[in-house]
Amino acid sequence: MYEIFSLYRTEISYTVVTVFALLIVQFLLKKAAHRVGKRSEINFTRTKLMFKYINILILFIAFFLLAIAWGMGLTELSLIFSSVFAVLGVALFAIWSILSNITSGVILFFSFPYKIGDKIKIHDKDLPIEAIIEDIKAFHLHLRTLEGELITYPNNLILQKAVSLVEKDVYLDEDKSSL
């Protein structure tokens, strides 16, 4: 056992330092996302979604750095990454709308001016919608119309259409009126 540690001392040291550094970076990124979510009054479930994205990013970085630390050359690593990304590119091209909705979900997290409970109007010439935002998910919004119909509206479309605020905090106002 001692021979293994002495033989791979440098690689083990790099691994420990890399893991420790990435855990610190992950903690700081999650803390920043939590701070943005709290300051912007974003629902905590949406903040947890950002935490998942941060975990995936840290995992990719960790794989890359640990592969280099354990002696994989940049040419082999670039071959692996280019092959994986080529396959992913072909697969994601077939399902581009899912990727588009995930990206839109990240954009909505940081810059969407409306919150859960707001009544909004989506100005679509074919099908205008006036509804209350019930939830904001990774792929879509849950909207509840005045008639009680639940509409799932894709995140990428909400960024492409004009949206106006009809009334803020409708659920809070309904709670006050029932008291």
Q: Are residues 9 and 85 in the same domain?
A: yes
pLDDT digits (tens, 9 = 90+) for 72-120: 887 888 888 788 888 877 776 767 777 788 888 888 877 778 888 889 9
pLDDT digits (tens, 9 = 90+) for 22-61: 999 999 999 998 888 888 877 787 888 889 889 998 998 9
pLDDT at 179 > cutoff 50: no
| End-to-end Cα, the chain, rounded Å | 70
Q: For the chain, what is the domain count? A: 2
Residue 150 backbone phi and psi in degrees, to 5: -95, 125
Grouping H, G, I as helix, E, B as strand and the rest as coil, residue 139 is coil
Q: How confident is the model at residue 94, as a pLDDT?
A: 64
Q: 178 falls in which pLDDT band (50, 70, 90)?
A: very low
Give the full edge-to-edge strand order of the sheet including 129-136. 150-154, 140-145, 129-136, 119-123, 162-167
pTM (predicted TM-score): 0.56
Q: What is the dihedral of CA 136, 48, 138, 166, to 10 degrees?
A: 20
Q: Are residues 118 and 61 in the same domain?
A: no
Q: Are residues 56 and 43 in the same domain?
A: yes
Q: Are residues 86 and 39 in the same domain?
A: yes
Q: How confident is the model at residue 89, as a pLDDT?
A: 76
Q: Are residues 75 and 135 in the same domain?
A: no
Which residues constitute the domain of residue 163? 113-178
CB count within 10 Å of CB 134 equals 15
Q: How confident is the model at residue 14, as a pLDDT?
A: 92
Q: How confident is the model at residue 36, as a pLDDT?
A: 86
Last residue of some domain: 80, 108, 136?
Answer: 108
pLDDT digits (tens, 9 = 90+) for 113-167: 888 888 999 998 888 999 999 988 888 889 999 899 999 999 888 888 899 989 8
